[in-house]
Structure 1
Amino acid sequence: MSGGQGGGNSKDGIRQVTICVVGKSGAGKTTCIVRYVRGFFQDNLDPTVFDDYKCNFTSPRSGIPYSLKIKDTAGQMEYKDIRLLSYREANAILLCYGINDKNSLDDIRRDWYPELNQYATNALKVPITLAALKCDLRLEYTTPEDQSKLISTKEGKALAKEIGAQYVECSSKSDSIGVDSAFVKILTLLETPNNRRSQEESSSNPIVAFFASIRRFFQSRMTRS
């Protein structure tokens, strides 16, 4: 499967898409994926080093059937080399944080976004959706003191705008703010014409990518002259 933006390849009329789920350990990434793929909430999961989940989904926007490969990546920085391998396949990135971790926005600015910017968004033009997880806590934390411990919607949207990402809120526990919205957002983003790349540019073949970059270089030189 080719990495990069463009919605993936098609097989027997079913579009193949790889979504790479990224974020700090403990943010709730694996719980989010399990809820989406298997349909139930599972707590106390072991930290992930690397795992793949697969499911089928039909876009409510376009009616297009999808075969999704969802790559659950390690949130620990010592596994960065393994995580980078996942970006090569990605058609989209779901960048996650838990709203109960006030330091996570700074982590995204300092660690996660620079990594994605270098290896995915700039290198492969892969779009990012920023997902605020554990949003059921907004209903559980009822006092102003408790609410102040959570990252607000306003803060999350501001960060998404800052890094050029789409924004979505969801919870693996709650049906009303369920995780489906995150994946619908991603597929809608991929189906938007302005977010597509040519097949040549999105190719994972390094030789094709090399010659495409040379062609763009000379085209830019000719335009300036």
Structure 2
Amino acid sequence: MSVRVPSMSVLPPVRRDRIIAQLPQFYSKKAAVHTKDEFNSKVKTACQEQRTGTVGFKIAKVIVVGDLAVGKTCLINRFCKDAFDKNYKATIGVDFEMERFEVLGVPFSLQLWDTAGQERFKCIASTYYRGAQTIVIVFDVNDVASLGHARQWLEDALKENDPTNVQLFLVGTKKDLSSPAQYSQIEQDAIELAEEIKAEYWALSSLTGENVREFFFRIASLAFEANVLAELEKSGSRHIGDVIKINSNSNNVYATSKKKQSNCCQ
């Protein structure tokens, strides 16, 4: 009796709770880089007409950085595994999770890199920063110092990436542990920093799950949109290049014909 082994190249369908049909909204309009309500019209049209090129096969790399014990691993685990482990374990080096989505009917994946916050592992973790499309800088809303270190984490991450090609998010965790008065003060400071570094600000709780799903859906949607727009720009450039090539050949033919006519007259 033979057993048929399914092909490894065939991926399982996207989970129903990972389907995105509309652009998820920002956490706070005053702390959002992208304030539009809908996906770019060109992106929507391209998806409807199935002109997204290789986007469906791409994996967007997301690196999550920040101080030790600010909740980076808990944040990723809450979204990917819907779990929260109260027993803290420091990440050694790096770890990553893969999440598959369907955005406007097109498959799209995020690779979430969980990096160590300890100084002794910083050199190891930084080697995995390269090629990020999204940088998430995490701080603890109950620890002002962790917010103060956000600039340095961003600077380190940008050493390995092109600042013009990455999307930035500043994320405050452990919101459930903060009193309204305490949170109000640090939120004001965080929003000012987010505006300064041109990042989108979010506050959430990995313990309760508050805003976690919305946050990662926002990352996936904006990364997807950026990839589709880049693909359209590339395909448009190729098309324009073809037109120029045709015109160039046409001009050469005309020049050759004119030259022959001149010789004939002589």
Same structural fold, with TM-score higher than 0.5 when normalized by the shorter chain: yes
Residues 29 and 72 in structure 1, CA contact (< 8 A), matched pair in contact too: yes
Please tell me whether residue 127 in structure 1 is matched to residue 167 in structure 2. yes
What RMSD in Å do the two structures reach over aligned CA positions? 3.0
Displacement of 1:188 in angstroms is 2.9
Q: Which residue of structure 1 lines up, in the alignment, with residue 218 of structure 2?
A: 185
* CA distance in 2 between partners of 1:99 and 1:10 (Å): 39
Please tell me whether residue 88 in structure 1 is matched to residue 122 in structure 2. no
Q: Which residue of structure 2 lines up, in the alignment, with residue 48 of structure 1?
A: 91
Q: Which residue of structure 2 lines up, in the alignment, with residue 58 of structure 1?
A: 102
Distance 1:148 1:169, change over 3 A: closer
Which one has the largest radius of gyration? 2
- Letter aligned with residue 118 of structure 1: K
Q: Which residue of structure 1 lines up, in the alignment, with residue 49 of structure 2?
A: none
Q: Which residue of structure 2 lines up, in the alignment, with residue 218 of structure 1?
A: none
- Letter aligned with residue 103 of structure 1: A
* CA distance in 2 between partners of 1:73 and 1:150 (Å): 28
* CA distance in 1 between partners of 2:95 and 2:148 (Å): 26
User: Matched residue pairs, number?
Assistant: 181
* CA distance in 1 between partners of 2:143 and 2:182 (Å): 11
* CA distance in 2 between partners of 1:196 and 1:120 (Å): 19
- Letter aligned with residue 192 of structure 2: A
Residues 91 and 126 in structure 1, CA contact (< 8 A), matched pair in contact too: yes
Q: Secondary structure at the match of 1:120?
A: coil
- Letter aligned with residue 45 of structure 1: Y
* CA distance in 2 between partners of 1:130 and 1:44 (Å): 25
Residues 70 and 139 in structure 2, CA contact (< 8 A), matched pair in contact too: yes
Identity among equivalent positions (%) equals: 29
- The within-5 A match list for 1:69-80 is 69-80=111-122
TM-score scaled by structure 1? Answer: 0.69
Distance 1:132 1:121, change over 3 A: farther
Displacement of 1:197 in angstroms is 5.2
- Flag structure 2 segments of 5+ consecutive residues without an equivalent: 1-52, 235-266
Displacement of 1:76 in angstroms is 1.6
* CA distance in 1 between partners of 2:102 and 2:160 (Å): 29
Q: Of Structure 1 and Structure 2, which has the larger fraction of its residues in helix? A: 2
Residues 28 and 133 in structure 1, CA contact (< 8 A), matched pair in contact too: yes
Q: Secondary structure at the match of 2:160?
A: helix
Displacement of 1:165 in angstroms is 0.8
For residues 4-57 of structure 1, the C-alpha deviation after alignment (integer angstroms, 9 at most, x for no partner) is xxxxx948x354222111111111000000110001222223100211112222
